[in-house]
Structure 1
Amino acid sequence: MSIIAIVPARYGSTRLPGKALLSKTGKPLIRHVVESISTAKLVDEVVIATDDQRIINAAGEFGAKAVLTGSDCRTGTDRIAQAAKILALDDTDIVVNVQADEPEMPGRCVDRCVELLSSGHWHIATLCTKITPAEAELPNMTKVVFAKDGTAMYFSRACIPFDRDHNQPVQHYLHHGIYAYHVGFIKLFAKLDSTPAEEAEKLEQLRAIEHGYKIIVGVTDYRGARIDTPQEYEEFAKRVAPSR
């Protein structure tokens, strides 16, 4: 069994065009992602999956492996499914899906997802971290509520759980965009119909929940530094510039 980390990356971005190749730090953003997750101890290989030749070319310049997928992928997971086929991965192989806008995702989080997936009969493993009530109100931060056994009950851009009476100590959790699953499940997932909650929230993981599949959620102390806007990229560039 092989364990592969795949980074689905596209060039187009409404709020931050060409995000994957922004290079104010001296390196394209996608390189930061690859280098960070390459510190994982359980991963055999890191691969970029993209539909844009410019990203393929950039990957070649810094020695990363990349595969060219179609431009018809609905989601990152659909792109992962195409990449798994191109790479001829076995159904029992494990893929860790790491978002291309998470340049500081540590390798230990990748390893944690692999360990979680292997700990029980789960279909997907993912991670979350504690956040404040004020942060939970932000729609750009996806929240997750999970059961006592660690399985996800729901993901939402809304504040969940909602403290109706404002008198209970409620802990909110931010969902990180990282997933581990077996290749066999990725193939199955890609064939599933989209679901109402998935379409409303624009969160593809809800497709799995609405179809009855189990997602195990682990809590980590990694806060995350997802980059969606020019301001977030500028802040990231300032953080890493001194270490160049």
Structure 2
Amino acid sequence: MITIPDCHGIIPARYESSRFPGKPLAEILGKPMFWHVYNRARQCPFMKSVTLATDDDRIYKAALDMGVPVVMTSTTHASGTDRVLEAARIIGVDPEEVVVNIQGDEPALDPAMLEELLEPFTRCQAMVTTLVSQISPEEAQSPDRVKAVVTHDGRALYFSRAMVPFDRENAMHSYHLHVGLYAFRMEALIRFGELDPSPLEQREKLEQLRFLEDGHTIYVTETRHTCHGVDRPEDLEKVISILEQEQ
């Protein structure tokens, strides 16, 4: 019988952002955005711990003031995954334990999505997992919407900004949209940090392709829940409305 290993959620929180500087500190219903993400994540019953990983003194101090576990990480990381790896090492995650990369701009995150993300670890020796959801062919045309090709038993074949698979017969009614939540067994996360960016990763600008090109299996779960990420200041209004309706 396979039992789920201890799981540690890590929330990368950079201050610098070309579209929304200081985004983790944006106020939502009287509290900073990172607090809402942390509060949502810790509701997942699989989580042993949830930690904020930042590179900014302002965010670090605000987290301490709010009672949110936080670690200071380097300012030179090329990706959020690299920041998550440093934070996981700081808090002492064991090789067989699982690290969950939780997007810091999802203040309306449904904790059930984290349970879906972690489900493959309960039934097989998964190393890396992620989520997809259904989108229409019209939505899939945008290169900002990353598409996934998935086998019948839930393994990722490819991720692309192009419309994949190609619909030669014009018979497809939906595509798999990649949802940017990841869970890694710590040894797989360490391996990621040892690898150079891969050719397909560099071409598509999608770091998950680094795992596929290195021969890793990425297990995919389809979710019916919706993400409500905050990319720009104008996205706050929608998120605030969602959270107000839940109160």
Normalising TM by the smaller chain, what interval? over 0.9
Match of 2:212 among 191, 203, 209: 209
TM-score normalised per structure 2: 0.92
State the alpha-carbon separation in 1 of the partners of residues 241 and 102 from structure 2.
23
Match of 1:142 in 2: 146
**CA-based RMSD:** 1.7
Corresponding residue SS for 1:180: strand
Match of 1:190 in 2: 193
TM-score normalised per structure 1: 0.93
Match of 1:224 in 2: 227
- Residue 20 of structure 1 aligns to which amino acid in structure 2? P
Match of 1:180 in 2: 183
Percent pairwise identity: 37
Match of 1:159 among 144, 160, 163: 163
- Residue 9 of structure 2 aligns to which amino acid in structure 1? A
Could you tell me whether the CA contact under 8 Å between 1:129 and 1:221 is conserved in 2? Answer: yes
- Residue 59 of structure 1 aligns to which amino acid in structure 2? A
How far residue 220 of structure 1 moved from its aligned partner, in angstroms, is: 0.9
Corresponding residue SS for 1:227: coil
Match of 1:234 in 2: 237
Match of 2:86 in 1: 82
State the alpha-carbon separation in 2 of the partners of residues 241 and 223 from structure 1.
17
How far residue 242 of structure 1 moved from its aligned partner, in angstroms, is: 5.4
Off by >3 Å, runs of 4+ in structure 1: 241-244
Q: C-alpha deviations, 1:199-233, integer Å up to 9, x for none?
A: 22221111101111110000111121122122222
- Residue 162 of structure 1 aligns to which amino acid in structure 2? F
Structure 1, unaligned runs of 5 or more = none
State the alpha-carbon separation in 1 of the partners of residues 168 and 19 from structure 2.
34
Structure 2, unaligned runs of 5 or more = none
1:127 has 2:128 as partner: no
Match of 2:65 in 1: 61
State the alpha-carbon separation in 2 of the partners of residues 158 and 169 from structure 1.
15
- Residue 199 of structure 1 aligns to which amino acid in structure 2? Q
The more displaced of 131-140 and 34-43 is 131-140
State the alpha-carbon separation in 2 of the partners of residues 239 and 41 from structure 1.
23
Q: C-alpha deviations, 1:8-28, integer Å up to 9, x for none?
A: 111111111111111143221
Could you tell me whether the CA contact under 8 Å between 2:128 and 2:183 is conserved in 1? Answer: yes
The more displaced of 140-149 and 47-56 is 140-149
State the alpha-carbon separation in 1 of the partners of residues 221 and 246 from structure 2.
30
Corresponding residue SS for 1:91: coil
State the alpha-carbon separation in 2 of the partners of residues 99 and 21 from structure 1.
14
1:109 has 2:113 as partner: yes
Q: C-alpha deviations, 1:49-105, integer Å up to 9, x for none?
A: 111111111211221100001112111111111111111221111111111112222
Q: C-alpha deviations, 1:123-167, integer Å up to 9, x for none?
A: 20111111111111122222211112211111122222232342x
Please show how residues 20-39 of structure 1 align to structure 2 within 5 Å.
20-39=24-43
State the alpha-carbon separation in 2 of the partners of residues 73 and 114 from structure 1.
26
How far residue 243 of structure 1 moved from its aligned partner, in angstroms, is: 5.3
State the alpha-carbon separation in 2 of the partners of residues 243 and 171 from structure 1.
29
State the alpha-carbon separation in 2 of the partners of residues 144 and 5 from structure 1.
24
Could you tell me whether the CA contact under 8 Å between 1:6 and 1:95 is conserved in 2? Answer: yes
Match of 2:202 in 1: 199
Could you tell me whether the CA contact under 8 Å between 1:136 and 1:172 is conserved in 2? Answer: yes
Could you tell me whether the CA contact under 8 Å between 2:40 and 2:108 is conserved in 1? Answer: yes
